[in-house]
Structure 1
Amino acid sequence: MHQSKFLIFIISCFLFSCTKEHTYPFPEERNAINIWLGSGTVVEDSFTHNFAYTITGRDSVMFNYRLSGFPLKHDTQFELQAVSGDTNRVYYTFGKYTIKARQYEGRFPIYIDKPAGYTEFTNSTGKIVFKLKESTDFLEGAEELSDLTVIFKNAVSKPDNWDVATSPYFTMSKYFGTYSNVKYAFIIQTTGMANFKIYYTVAKDPVLADNTITATQAAYFQNLCKAALLAYKNKYGPLMDENNSEVVFP
């Protein structure tokens, strides 16, 4: 008799626990995604994309992401959206943003296309703000890491590191001399690169940040520009800049 009552008590407790678990489930948490522009952990308020530095075709703006919350058990995608700005003046495309299982941070591109004859932002500055498109999987991250502001220009301008650079970086003037808009446009057209940094290293195969070259590569670019300028001069005469001075390289 006592044994039967004990079994009934155990079964009742089991049924009660099952009912309780079914009635009051724990809510499933959603992860958040922090997004920002910059290199590594450095957060930049905005990034300037200058169409004047781009050969006709496709370029990209890279952004960083970091997952905040529980590790993912399977591959999961997230999306961006443009929330304000000159969206009708820029040909932009989002990539396929997939966070792999057990992965929590990385970098992805926003693609920017420049059609032939593109003249937007030659006399003005544009802007688009991109944000995470919230979903059943992901919420926006911290307020200061929730949007990507991209500034758009379409004119040549002097890089910040032309005359000033902090070690172990070199100035661009060390290899290319006095700045002018015409000279800089010539460098871009000759090398296919713009707004790059010059890093001193003795490593054989250094790992460099985006748009960074070694001093050896800078010397190569210097000679490349000298040869291209000589070919130009032989064909058209001296290349004159906006100050009516002849363009020369050291």
Structure 2
Amino acid sequence: MLQHLKYTGLIMGLLCMGSCVKDTPRFANEAGVYINKESMDSYKDSITYSFAVKPDTLQQDTIYLPIRITGLPTKNDRPIPMTIVKDSTSATQAQHYELPVCLIKADSFIARFAIIVKRRPDLKDREVRLMLQVTPSQDFPLNITRLATGANPYYLIRLNDKLTKPDKWESAGSWLQTFFGNYSETKFKFIIQVTGRSNWPPRGRDGAGAPILNDMHNYSSMVHEALRLYEAANGPMIDENGNRVVFP
């Protein structure tokens, strides 16, 4: 009986080893490249960039995406194979954006892909979309479509030059209403400039990448102090409706 158990254990161990080998990700040693969304704190799949919250003198800016390879580094630089998904893109190259050649440097596992976005008059009236996709290439033949983290090879950039009121600002349970009070464009632009946060989800709390309650308390403290300093230097801040900007 003991001998039988010994052989049974040996067989089970071999089966387990075989299973482990089979489950090892097949791309671990193959040359591939992907957007490293695990390293992004928020906006893992898309971002809205608005020139409306930037200085009037800023005519272009750069958005960077973290990039990582699978397989081993090489002794030569390799271009990052980023392409445009045309049927999901309304932005016009050269007019709204540029995609400079970006490289995975020799002996490197990581890089940044740069997207230059441009301020144009039409962005005051509409929002354009730029859908990017990492595709296989001669240097990176492995087609990575989905990682264990749920990442995919796509990234969407929405570009405009107008303030867009976050959805459900006045809805029940809205942190936007609770911490910032009634909406106005002047107030919202001030909030964005002070907090540095331009992407606000519905109610300020719904969906992936939404701030947590502690973040909202910090934001509230920041805008209160910034408004105090503004009023000390300039007097009351008046919004586009002729009302004084105040926070709860």
Per residue, is there more strand in 1 or in 2?
1
Give the Å deviation of 1:215.
Answer: 4.9
Matching residue of 2:16: none
> SS at the partner of 2:198?
coil
Shift of 1:138: 1.4
Alignment of 1:65-214 (within 5 A): 65-68=67-70, 70-74=71-75, 76-79=77-80, 80-84=82-86, 85=89, 86-88=91-93, 89-94=95-100, 96-99=102-105, 101=107, 103=109, 108-114=113-119, 118-132=120-134, 134-139=136-141, 141-143=143-145, 145-159=152-166, 171=175, 173=177, 175-189=179-193, 191=194, 193-195=196-198
Letter in 2 for 1:195: S
Seen in structure 2, the aligned counterparts of structure 1 residues 215 and 230 have a Cα distance that, compared at 3 Å, is same
Give the 3 Å change call, closer, same or farther, for CA 143–224 of structure 1 in structure 2: same
SS at match of 1:71: coil
CA drift of 1:140 comes to 6.4
**What SS does the aligned partner of 1:74 have?**
coil
**Letter of the structure 1 residue corresponding to residue 115 of structure 2:** I
Match of 1:223, SS state, is helix
Q: Provide structure 2 residue ranges, at least 5 long, that are not aligned to the other structure.
A: 1-28, 147-151, 200-209
8 Å Cα contact 2:175-2:216 kept in structure 1 = no
- Paired residues of 2:79 and 2:101 also in contact (CA < 8 A): no
**Partner-residue secondary structure (3-state), 1:120:** helix
Counterparts in 2 of 1:223 and 1:146: CA distance versus 1, 3 Å: same
Q: Which has the larger radius of gyration?
A: 1
Determine which of 243, 246, 249 is the counterpart of 2:247: 249
What SS does the aligned partner of 1:121 have? helix
- Structure 2-normalised TM-score? 0.58
Q: How far 1:90 moved relative to its partner? A: 0.6
Alpha-carbon distance between aligned partners in 2 of 1:46 and 1:137, rounded to the nearest angstrom: 26
Deviation, structure 1 residue 67: 2.4
**Letter paired with 1:249:** F
Tell me how far 1:247 sits from its aligned partner: 2.0
Q: What is the root-mean-square deviation in Å for CA atoms of aligned residues?
A: 4.1
- Inter-CA distance 153–92: structure 2 relative to 1 (3 Å threshold): same
> Matched residue pairs, number?
197
* Gap regions ≥5 residues in structure 1: 1-28, 202-212
CA distance in 2, matches of 1:163, 1:99: 49
The CA distance in 2 between the partners of 1:214 and 1:149, in whole Å, is 26
Compared with structure 1, are the counterparts of its residues 152 and 36 closer, same or farther at alpha carbon in structure 2 (3 Å cutoff)? farther
Return closer, same or farther for 1:179/1:107 CA change in 2, 3 Å cut-off: farther
3-state SS in 2 of match to 1:142: coil
Q: What letter corresponds to residue 159 of structure 2 in structure 1?
A: F
Q: Which residue number corresponds to residue 53 of structure 1?
A: 53
The share of aligned pairs that are identical, in percent, is 18
More helix by share: 2
CA distance in 2, matches of 1:239, 1:43: 32
